[in-house]
């Protein structure tokens, strides 16, 4: 593990296991890892977001309990949320999270994901007008929409 955020993420994923959700105290987790609760918030925001297949819900009071939920296992629900997210510009890191989650959901193969990541990389989208994030969002949106149409034709 390279840093405490990686350790916290791995711990939460291991604890979640195959379950659909996990309830855990933010304060207990912060104490366990000897970090400030803001570090837990950082991990939840960056590692357990919709792009990566999770939803989080904070419950006020009583030790600051949080619930981490896997998004609906149906790819169509996930795809709807991602397409909505792609109405905004996305940076390369977020786009890679989306592609990686698509691989884990068997939407794309590993080789398809590598091609997509190359096509949306900063080097491929470099231009003098700094439109990279907008172009990346549009490209990913079109790929996912096209894939979804092809998948429906198969079914």
pLDDT tens digits for the chain (155 residues)?
469 999 999 999 999 988 878 889 988 999 999 999 889 989 998 899 877 888 888 776 656 788 888 876 566 677 778 877 888 889 999 999 999 989 988 888 999 999 999 999 998 888 776 788 888 988 998 898 877 767 766 76
127: tokens are 């231009």
Global model pTM greater than 0.85: no
Q: Which residues contact 76 (CB under 8 A, 6 or more apart)?
A: 148
Closest CA to 105 of 146, 52, 155, 149: 52
10 Å CB burial of residue 31 (0-12, 13-18, 19+) is exposed
């Amino acid at each position: 593990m390279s840093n405490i955020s990686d350790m916290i993420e791995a711990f939460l994923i291991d604890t979640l296991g195959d379950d659909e959700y996990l309830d855990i105290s933010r304060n207990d987790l912060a104490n366990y890892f000897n970090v400030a609760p803001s570090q837990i918030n950082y991990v939840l925001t960056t590692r357990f977001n919709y792009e990566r297949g999770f939803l989080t819900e904070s419950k006020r009071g009583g030790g600051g309990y949080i619930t981490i939920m896997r998004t609906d296992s149906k790819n169509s629900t996930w795809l709807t949320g991602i397409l909505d997210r792609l109405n905004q510009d996305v940076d390369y890191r977020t786009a890679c999270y989306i592609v990686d989650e698509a691989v884990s959901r068997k939407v794309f193969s590993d080789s398809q994901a590598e091609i997509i990541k190359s096509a949306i990389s900063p080097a491929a989208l470099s231009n003098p007008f700094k439109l990279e994030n907008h172009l990346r969002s549009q490209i990913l949106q079109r790929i996912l929409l096209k894939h979804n149409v092809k998948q429906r034709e198969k079914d």
